[in-house]
Structure 1
Amino acid sequence: MSVVFSRNGVSMPDLVRTKLANHLARLGRAADVPALALAEERAEGFVEGVEAARALTPATIERLFIAVEDAAARRRRDLAP
């Protein structure tokens, strides 16, 4: 995921980038819908924490929320019967 963000010119600290990549990977590995919901809540909570710490710009925060939503939606489609 960090490659996508670096191509789009999004600058963020390495630790934030690594943690976000871990959350997105966890979304992609969710075994079922309840696990996906939990992973999505955790990822959103992480982004909210970064936002509360004012560690990134509002535009970057919005991109992170969109990345989490997109990853969850992709996995939800994969899990659909």
Structure 2
Amino acid sequence: MREGLPSSTETRDLLTIVVWYALRGHQPGDAAEQRERTPWFTTKTAPEPSDIVGKPRRMITEARFLPTTAGRPIRLP
């Protein structure tokens, strides 16, 4: 394999995340949520690639560590 090129596994994984985000993960408030988490970044109007890749990680972390009621996470202040 040539250095600098992603492996087929990495490419497949990234493609899977992008397709999931396009079909199920994107929410209209994603950019607004990012602006709340990073108030110094006020010009964001659309999700960046790092947001697309990071959203499943945030969702998995929330599902594992936040308390739930009837299958819905309880938002902590």
TM above 0.5 = no
TM-score, scaled relative to structure 2: 0.30
Higher relative contact order, chain-length normalized (CA < 8 Å, sep 6+): 1
User: Which structure has more strand as a fraction of its residues?
Assistant: 2
User: Which structure has more helix as a fraction of its residues?
Assistant: 1
Greater CA radius of gyration, 1 or 2? 2
TM-score, scaled relative to structure 1: 0.29
